[in-house]
Structure 1
């Protein structure tokens, strides 16, 4: 079972409302899921199941939830655009999300203003609303990702780090 508490004004707790909680509260909408990993940032949260499905909740102003609209979500919803992939790891940045597929490719979406998504062709694009494979990552076999406010780090199976940051 997954529990959440703290600030919830954007639905980032996934409890179905925008209220904060001072104590651990069970996320009922995920009670029938086998959650194996959770990642969160200020305003959005990602939940990864053992089956490789990704659920997200919270603020979506930059498309960081990976759904077709920019509407924020108070309850977790499955990122259906990732149905063709089995996700093995996920990380939330300030307004972006990055995931790793079981085949080692990196998928990213959300705010792109600093190049944190790793999409060379999206540097001039403010937001990437739908998850996209980062070109060139399929052959490197990544296993983990970590996000900061406006940057992303990715680790390959050979312990080689790559930083996706555009220095302007």
Structure 2
């Protein structure tokens, strides 16, 4: 399995560019923005099983053989020691999650959180745990831990009711979305952009069920800065929250305003050439008002493409990426750093397939979004993607 990245690269979290020759000019935009999907470089020379990403860093989790975590990006000086956390100290870990402030590692017998701002040689927080087994309930993945979860800011440990039977958890900028073992979805935190999916803009201090999804078991949840998404057992994709950059895949006024103005100016020039008035009133029956969505306060079903089932989904701050059961990657939302993978810096409020992987005869099997970038795991098309 190979990993590719594209988008924000100011700290070398995707690839480290060679230093320019003395006296030669450097393309700053080329260093900051990786527009075309690029195979990941740097860090350990081991097979990467999973990627975790924050705004300025990437954590590569290696689970084959002697498991460990390698960091790339801000503060990652050398492969053996980055941001105060050495590869040796991570050896034996089974899962990891990273934020701008902390790297949390899950070992079979303990959880450790390391302060990425300091150089201490001991974790800033830790807890002992008992070995998990399937008979005791669903196996937990970070940020979930026994009895609660690890937050992105102190206090790091937050408790959760055992009645929720938590299966997976995604943390946004200021809200959370939880998937239960029953397939039910709960959200809490800031709700000012409709990101909780309860139909309003109010916040919730405690996990509250998303009633619009009740009775439809979900298999995957993800959250961006101020939007949320989930995938049903049948492969349907539901979206809600802020759509300012088209991150929900719904019509966004901000993205379509400039193209409409340009088309209007072009139409006006054509009308003047034909001695017509561009301000003529439309004939009866021709009036059409396009509906734009800034905030979607309750879940909406999004058709990515006809007869398309979604396998998994991930969210950046203001963009979204989904992998289909046929191994295609679709992206939409804010794209000014190239994080959509379409080899442009254009944003889009319509899901579009990343053609690079199809052209290279690669099958996408997983996707992980950083805040302003995207990472995709691929295999050759000859390998079954089902």
TM-score (norm 2): 0.39
Alignment pair present for 1:98 and 2:321: yes
Alignment pair present for 1:12 and 2:195: yes
Moved more, 62-71 or 25-34: 62-71
In terms of fraction of residues, the more helix-rich structure is 2
Are the counterparts in 1 of residues 224 and 319 from structure 2 also a CA contact under 8 Å? no
- SS of 2:362's partner is coil
| 1:122-141 mapped onto 2 (5 Å cutoff) | 122-123=344-345, 125=346, 127-138=347-358, 139-141=361-363
Alignment pair present for 1:34 and 2:217: yes
| 1:6-155 mapped onto 2 (5 Å cutoff) | 6-68=189-251, 69-120=292-343, 122-123=344-345, 125=346, 127-138=347-358, 139-155=361-377
Q: Which structure has the greater CA radius of gyration?
A: 2
The aligned counterpart of 1:163 is: none
Separation (CA, whole Å) in 2 of partners of 1:82 and 1:13: 26
Separation (CA, whole Å) in 1 of partners of 2:301 and 2:188: 21
Are the counterparts in 1 of residues 331 and 354 from structure 2 also a CA contact under 8 Å? yes
Following superposition, the deviation at residue 151 of structure 1 comes to 0.3
Following superposition, the deviation at residue 157 of structure 1 comes to 4.1
Moved over 6 A (4+): none
Deviations 1:13-52 (CA, angstroms, capped at 9, x unpaired): 1111111101111110000212111000220001111111
Task: Give the number of equivalent residue pairs.
Answer: 155
Following superposition, the deviation at residue 106 of structure 1 comes to 0.5
Following superposition, the deviation at residue 84 of structure 1 comes to 2.8
Instruction: Provide the aligned C-alpha RMSD in A.
Output: 1.3
In terms of fraction of residues, the more strand-rich structure is 1
Are the counterparts in 1 of residues 189 and 203 from structure 2 also a CA contact under 8 Å? yes
Moved more, 133-142 or 102-111: 133-142
- SS of 1:45's partner is strand
User: Gapped runs of 5+ residues in structure 1?
Assistant: 159-168
Separation (CA, whole Å) in 2 of partners of 1:70 and 1:3: 23
Following superposition, the deviation at residue 12 of structure 1 comes to 0.6
The aligned counterpart of 2:124 is: none
- SS of 2:212's partner is helix
User: Gapped runs of 5+ residues in structure 2?
Assistant: 1-183, 252-291, 381-386
- SS of 1:82's partner is coil
Deviations 1:123-163 (CA, angstroms, capped at 9, x unpaired): 2x2x21100000132331111111111100011247xxxxx
Deviations 1:70-124 (CA, angstroms, capped at 9, x unpaired): 421000101124343111010010000000010111000000100000001x32x
Are the counterparts in 2 of residues 62 and 129 from structure 1 also a CA contact under 8 Å? yes
Are the counterparts in 2 of residues 62 and 70 from structure 1 also a CA contact under 8 Å? no
- SS of 1:137's partner is helix
- SS of 2:356's partner is coil
